[in-house]
Amino acid sequence: MKTTIQHNNKTYAIDLSQPIDISLPIQNNEQNPIAWYLDQPEINPVVMGDFVGSVASGKSSTNFNNILFNPHGHGTHTECLGHITKDFYSINQTLKTFFFTAELISIEPELIDDDLVITKNQIENALQNESPEALIIRTLPNSIDKKHKKYSNTNPAYLSEEAAVFIREMGIEHLLIDLPSVDKEVDEGKLVAHKAFWNVTNIHQVNADARFHCTITELVFIENEIEDGTYILNLQIASFENDASPSKPVVFKVL
């Protein structure tokens, strides 16, 4: 089903029957990606006396599972500035619209002082003066192993502070990346890219010009056959009153 979307006096045509899901699922097995020193998620039937919430067990007419997971470390998730502030802010309250123009770019991080870093120049060159509402960054090489990678203690690639400032100054409101964080794994709690993107200068009393409506989505995965270019993004979250929620970003190629 084809439809059109209006943004900044431009009309974008998309086919709603051709969604491209760039999320990673949460599953209770070794195939689940893991970051931040966690164990794998748990999805288990509820057990109460003789009741076992599994049809296969023969002790229930329904499947009735408890799920234990962490949105930041167990799959694709979307977070608001409440991730780094003393005061509580919820992704469910700060993200209020769900369709955005998006640009997908592919970048091979540069080796700088033994770290792999995504730089301002790389993003600026890849965007070629485009200023979408959302930016999706696919890092290269783009191995399928990202779907199952155990990131803890691997010092993954990250975004430089200068790059995050550039993204903010370009007016990009939603940043999506196929890494566990936009910041370095061990950075003494500085979180310079998070702070720069959200324009948070004081985590104890958030400045009035902080970007409350903006989001960061981490641990996406973009298949190699999906070409760089312009898309319409549908950013779906679960209704958690939390700084972050597991999410399902879906993109549609502009026709």
Q: Identify the bridge partners of residue 216 per DSSP, sorted by sequence position.
A: 79, 175
Q: Are strands 77-79 and 244-253 parallel, antiparallel or unpaired?
A: antiparallel
The reply to whether 61 falls in a domain is no
Residue identified by tokens 């026709």 is 255
CB atoms within 10 A of CB 243: 21
Residue 8: predicted pLDDT: 77
* pLDDT band of 95, cuts 50, 70, 90: very high
Look up tokens 């009393």; give the residue.
205
Domain presence at residue 39 = no
Average pLDDT in the 141-169 region? 98
Tell me the HSE value of 165 on the side-chain side, using a 13 A CA sphere. Answer: 7
Task: Give me the CATH number covering residue 93.
Answer: 3.50.30.50
Please give the average per-residue pLDDT across 79-88, as a whole number: 98
What does the pLDDT read at residue 85?
Answer: 98
Average pLDDT over residues 7-28: 94
- Cβ neighbourhood burial of 252 (10 Å; 0-12, 13-18, 19+): buried
Which residues touch 111 (CB under 8 Å, ≥6 apart)? Answer: 117
pLDDT of residue 1: 86
Cα 228 to Cα 66: distance, rounded to the nearest angstrom? 39
Q: Is residue 164 part of a domain?
A: yes
- The answer to whether position 242 is within a domain reads yes
Alpha-carbon span 20 to 187, nearest angstrom: 34
Band (60; pLDDT cuts 50, 70, 90): very high
Query: What is the pLDDT at residue 179?
Result: 98
CB of 116 closer than 8 Å to CB of 149 = no
The answer to the question of residue 40 being in a domain is: no
**pLDDT tens profile 222-254:** 999 999 999 999 999 999 999 999 999 999 999
Mean pLDDT of 194-199: 98
Token reading at 86: 């003393």
For residue 159, the enclosing domain spans 2-28+71-253
Whether 64 shows a pLDDT value over 80: the answer reads yes
65 falls within a domain: no
Q: Is 203 contained in some domain?
A: yes
Mean per-residue pLDDT for 142-154? Answer: 97
How many C-beta atoms lie closer than 10 Å to residue 139's C-beta? 20
Sheet order of strands, 158-159 included? 110-112, 115-118, 158-159
Given a cut of 80, whether residue 215 has pLDDT beyond it is: yes
Q: What is the pLDDT of residue 181?
A: 98
Which pLDDT does position 6 carry in this prediction?
A: 84
To the nearest whole percent, how much of the chain has pLDDT over 70?
Answer: 100
- Residue 59 covered by a domain: no
Task: Give the pLDDT confidence score for residue 7 in this predicted structure.
Answer: 79
Residue that has been written with the tokens 């799959």 in this structure: 75
- Residue range 101-117, pLDDT digits in tens: 999 999 999 999 999 99
**End-to-end distance of the chain based on CA atoms, in angstroms?**
12
Q: How many domains does the chain have?
A: 1
Q: Which residue spans within 80-147 are E strands per DSSP?
A: 99-107, 110-112, 115-118, 134-139
